[in-house]
Structure formats: structure tokens, C-alpha cells
A and B are shown apart, each in its own frame.
Chain A
Amino acid sequence: MAPHTEQLTRPAVRLRGLTRSFGGRTVLDGVDLDIPAGQFVALLGHSGSGKSTLLRAVAGLDHEVVGSGQLTAPERVSVVFQDSRLLPWRRVLDNVLLGTDGEDRGREALAEVGLAGRERAWPNELSGGEAQRAALARSLVREPELLLADEPFGALDALTRIRMHALLRELWKRHQPSVLLVTHDVDEAIVLADRVLVLEEGRIGLDLTIDRPHPRSYRDPLLGEYRERLLTALGVTEDHA
């Protein structure tokens, strides 16, 4: 047993036969998955396909869900939800520091997401995009080894979303956490992730490595091929005629 090499080679997230069911309906049916440390993974699937269930299982948030299987995840895990989930009674900086301390690190994190100077603002005073940036800052301040994001940009307008994509990618490059991004947006997955998984019928149906340099453009024709494959895996056929 060589603990050091073991640590280097061991994946950040490791699922073996992960099964979860709700009210007799099996949502996850024996999922096997390894996410190496530092990899940016997107998880696609129809609504109801169990992608949020998988993320919540990895986050350890599925208290009363029936299930079995093996699950290992790092010590420091952060979650970004679809809503910013800022506590309305705490100022932005205090929200970022929820559960940790270190005011300077909080300020740094806010500056990183472009919210320097808004430390004393109330969450109600932020726009949707700003609130989500604050939520990103809150997840970063803990220096997570794994960042779980459950449709974090789903509630944002298209322009804000594009800006947030660039920001997330940049933050990932700087901090190098493993990322598991749950999304229903194929383009978002292709533009951001290095590996895209499609969840179907409770298992990983497609595991696609996207080997294109960053920053990626939606107009990159080579990404179109990945897009095609993912849409087919999702059961959507595009009518180009």
C-alpha cells in the first residue's frame, strides 16, 4: 500500500453501482462513474432522468432516499444551486462566508467574481446574475476539491449566461477543482466541459470526451459533431431542412 501514489491516482469521485429510487421508481440504476481530480464534467439528461438525484447523492443531500451502492467524494465539496440561495438577512460578504471565516478570503472571492465593492449590499439589491456570482464566490471561498453545480445558470438570461460561462471556466482554471455540472443545455455542456455524460434510464448512456481547446465558440463547426452525437443520445433529432 503506497498511500501517496494511491492518492494521486485515485479519482476525486467514484461511484459504483449507485442506485436510488423514489416511491418504487428506480431513478438511478447502478451508476458507475469515476471523475479524476481536476476534471470538468457536464451531466446531461432529460428532466426527470435523475441527474439532480445523482448530484444530490454525491453532495450527500439525499437523506430520506432509498438507495444502495458505493460512493466516494472528496472532503471539501461545494454546491452551487439553480437559485443563488443567498440568505436575505445577511449581507453579501456574510453570505459568502457562511460556514467559514476569513473576511479577506471572502473579499478576494467576491473580487474574483467581479463583485468587489458589493460586500455590504443586501442580496435583494443584486441582479440575478450578480446573485449567482455571489453564490459562486461562496462556493469558491472554501477551496473545494469538488464543485457540484445543479443547473447554476438555468434561471439567467442568455447574455448573462454567456458571461457566467466564461467566468466559471476561468475560475475552474485558477482553482482546479473537479467539476460536476448538471445541465439540460447541450450547448452549455459542450462549451464548458471536457467530458460530457448523458444519463438515460438510470445509467450513464454516453460518455464523451470533448477534445477542443478553450475558449470555445458556439460556432465552432467541430463542436457541431459533438452536439449531434449528444442530441442523438438524448433522443432528439434535429431537423436541418
Chain B
Amino acid sequence: MSAVTTTVAVAAPEVSTEVRRRRRLSPGRRLPAARLVGPVLLLALWAAASAAGRLDPAAVPAPWTVVRTGAHLWTAGTLPTDILTSLGRAASGFAIGLGAGVLLALAAGLSRTGEALIDGTVNLNRAIPTLGLIPLFILWLGIGESFKVAIIAIVVYIPIYLNTHAALAGIDHRYVELAEVQGLSRFAFVRQIVIPGALPGFFVGLRLGVTGSWLGLVVLEQINATSGLGYLMFQAQNYGQSDVILVGLVVYGVFGLVSDSAARLVERRVLSWRRTLSS
């Protein structure tokens, strides 16, 4: 080491300094459990402020009050049925929206006639805020479950359609050429090239759709329902039970988190070939 330095020093004294690493401009390595730090800190602040009596318990009840109310509602109240009702609505609306979004995107992406018929219509539908359709749908379908499911389905199908259709339209032309050269049938082309090629876009739409289904659910249940989580929260508002409202919000949050994680998990599994790109 020193020998090298001396030789270099003799030959060219200016160059003999050791190579200094450049100043790093990227933020560096990620902290462990980085995504949990913020929420946990917030929870701790909330608990500390409640314990110190700095929060009005009528407006923001303490975390333990929320937990206790939640447990009470679960064992003695209607929480389990409300959750089931809400989950049922979200699930059926989501399933219909998913199917419709994918089928319409395939029809519009694979045939020019389909594109002419579908694409403009869906974009027109997108221009109308879906929640603005609520009054009309109540008139058409009544105030029961079907109108709620229909609204959720519309909220879900739009992002799924848009992203899947964009992904289909964006499939590399070189792959189409390859399919022609390899003599693929139309069916094999769709199955082996079109669908796998559009999957990344589809998953973006899927995750937006999942979020959308919860959003639609909240709105529908708070204004036009006689059961479900939103209804529970709406009632609590009338009686000034902020702890019940918070329980409802926590449940919504858990729903959102779990469903998004599930969508991401499926995405990672299905698109495992992509991992090699980022690693």
C-alpha cells in the first residue's frame, strides 16, 4: 500500500491522493420498517395527548376508548353484521366492475369495431362523476342493495377499463410482428402476448378500482343506507358518539389496507418476471 503510494508520489505527486468517494445525492439506505414509523409516532402522540387531558374526549376520544368501544360493538352490538353487509356490497360491486372493466377493455383493445363502440362511451361515462348518478340510480333501481352495487361497480370498472385498455393499446408492435412470424393463432396471440403484456397496466387499474370501491361504499352507506358500517357511523354522528365513528374509520382503514396489500401480493406473484428488472 505504502509502496504504491511512494511510486505514484515519485511519478506524479498531484495524483497520489486517495480516491475520495463522491458526495452521495440519493437519500441512501432505507430505515428498517420505514413505512410504520410515521403512523406509530402519530398514534403515540394521540395517546400522550389524551392521557395528558389535552384533547376534548367528545371530539377526539382516547385510543383506548376507541378500542373498548370497538370490542363492545363487536360482542354486544351490530358491528359484525354491519361489517358483513358492507363487505358484501363492496365485494359484489367490485366483482361486477372488475369483470366489466376487463371485458370491455379486451373488446375495445382487440377489435376496431369494439373500440369505436366502447372507448368513447366509457370516456363519456368517466366524464360524469359517478356519485352524481346516485339520484338517477335510486329512481331506476330503488333504494335497496342493487343500486349500491351498481354504483360501486361503475366506480370500479372505469379505472380498470382505462388502464387495461391503455396497456393493450401500448403493447409493443414488435411483439405483434413476432407473433405473426411465429404463426400464432389469434387466440394464442391474445393469450400469450396480449394478456401478459397488458397485465402491468391492468394491475394499476385493479388497485385504483379497489380504492374506488371503498370510496363509493362510504359515500353510499352514509347517505342512503339503513345498515352497514357507514350507517353505523351516520347514526353515531346523530348521537355524538365520536368513538363509534372512529371505530368505523379504523375498520374502513383496515379494509383498505388489507385489500390493497392483497392486490399488491397478487401483482407481485403474477408479474414475478418483472422483479429481475428492479433487482
Contact = CB atoms under 8 A, between A and B. Distances in A.
Interface of A: 59-61, 77-79, 81, 83, 85, 87-90, 98-100, 122, 124-125, 138, 142
Most chain B Cβ neighbours within 10 Å, of A59, A85, A99, A100: A99
Interface stretch (B93-101, B181-189, B206-214): B181-189
B175 interface: yes
Contacts of A61: 177, 180-181
Contacts of A88: 273-274
The 5 residue pairs across chains A and B that have the minimum distance between CB atoms: A99-B182, A89-B196, A124-B276, A79-B181, A89-B273
Contact of B193 (A79, A87, A100): A87
Contacts of B23: none
Nearest to B196: A89
A187 to B, nearest CB: 27
B175 A98 contact: no
B interface, over-half SS = helix
Contact of A85 (B178, B199, B274): B178
Interface of B: 174-175, 177-184, 188, 192-193, 196-197, 199, 271, 273-274, 276-277
14 contacts: A81-B174, A81-B177, A83-B174, A87-B178, A87-B192, A88-B273, A88-B274, A89-B196, A89-B197, A89-B273, A98-B178, A98-B179, A99-B179, A142-B182
Contacts of B193: 87
Contacts of B277: 124
A197 to B, nearest CB: 22
B175 A87 contact: yes
Nearest to B192: A98
A59 B177 CA distance: 10
Contacts of A77: 181
B174 A85 contact: yes
A99 B184 contact: yes
B196 A87 contact: yes
A60 B181 CA distance: 8
Contacts of B177: 61, 81, 85
A61 B193 CA distance: 18
B221 to A, nearest CB: 40
